[in-house]
């Protein structure tokens, strides 16, 4: 017992005498991690890289003008929504500016550029909206100052309010309006809540593949703005 108490006392004394240190200064340096390329790995990857490069560099069409992003409408938005409608009997196609990730320069269009434009695995789906739900969708477009859309002409003011609209190919009094969009937006993406809880008809076609197929079928793409979305000055 005495020996144990002496041991405890020794430990306490030594703990109390331990010196503490504070770091007043430190310096960080970037250490190079350059290393020689592994020739074995390169040899394994090379044939796959060659095939991918060849596929991505394939010229699939030619654009007569630069296809640009923008609001209230854009040539790239008009191009994508118009071509998507050719794959189905939907009445309107709507996408979002954020989903179109790049522009297409004038000249040859390579397959890889379409992957840059639409890098996501989003698929095309159709939903049905009644007339009131359609107005909510168009009010959304107006409030956003425009989004890529096809099958309807819209008039808004510079306060983001819907003033008027006309459907391109159908009567507004139609009981249900068939809306073509991506599955991401159909599930409420980008705050498109008017699509919530709607039954989806899947086309089993990726948006990206729809664009690529269209380009392969058309040797020249020619798109200009057509005033499908007009903004009126409030004054």
Where are the domains positioned within the chain? 53-232
CATH of domain 53-232: 3.90.780.10
Range scoring the smallest mean pLDDT among 9-13, 216-220, 231-235? 9-13
CA atoms within 13 Å, Cβ hemisphere of 221: 30
131-170 residue pLDDT tens: 999 999 999 999 999 999 999 999 999 999 999 999 987 7
Strand, coil or helix: 32:
coil
- The torsion angles phi and psi of 197, rounded to 5 degrees, stand at 60, 30
What is the Cβ-side half-sphere exposure of residue 45, based on CA atoms within 13 angstroms? Answer: 8
pLDDT tens digits, one per residue of 61-90: 999 999 999 999 999 999 999 999 999 999
- In this predicted structure, the answer to whether residue 2 has a pLDDT above a threshold of 60 is no
* Three-state DSSP class for residue 123: strand
| Separation of alpha carbons 30 and 11, rounded Å | 42
pLDDT of residue 184: 96
């Amino acid at each position: 017992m005495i020996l144990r108490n002496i041991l405890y006392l020794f430990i306490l004394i030594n703990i109390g005498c331990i010196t503490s240190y504070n770091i007043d200064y430190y310096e960080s340096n970037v250490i190079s991690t350059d290393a020689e390329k592994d020739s074995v790995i390169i040899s394994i990857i090379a044939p796959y890289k060659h095939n991918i490069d060849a596929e991505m560099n394939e010229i699939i069409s030619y654009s007569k003008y630069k296809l640009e992003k923008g609001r209230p409408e854009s040539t790239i938005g008009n191009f994508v929504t118009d071509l998507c409608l050719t794959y189905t009997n939907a009445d309107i196609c709507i996408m979002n500016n954020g989903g179109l990730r790049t522009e297409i320069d004038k000249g040859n269009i390579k397959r890889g550029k379409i992957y840059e434009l639409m890098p996501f695995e989003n698929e095309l789906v159709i939903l049905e909206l009644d007339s009131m739900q359609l107005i909510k969708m168009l009010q959304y477009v107006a409030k956003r100052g425009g989004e890529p859309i096809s099958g309807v002409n819209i008039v808004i003011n510079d306060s983001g309010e819907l003033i008027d609209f006309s459907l391109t190919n159908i009567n507004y009094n139609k009981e249900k309006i068939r809306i073509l969009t991506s599955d991401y937006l159909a599930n409420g993406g980008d705050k498109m809540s008017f699509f919530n809880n709607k039954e989806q008809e899947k086309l089993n076609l990726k948006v990206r593949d729809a664009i690529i197929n269209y380009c392969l079928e058309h040797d020249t793409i020619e798109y200009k703005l057509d005033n499908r979305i007009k903004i009126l000055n409030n004054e």
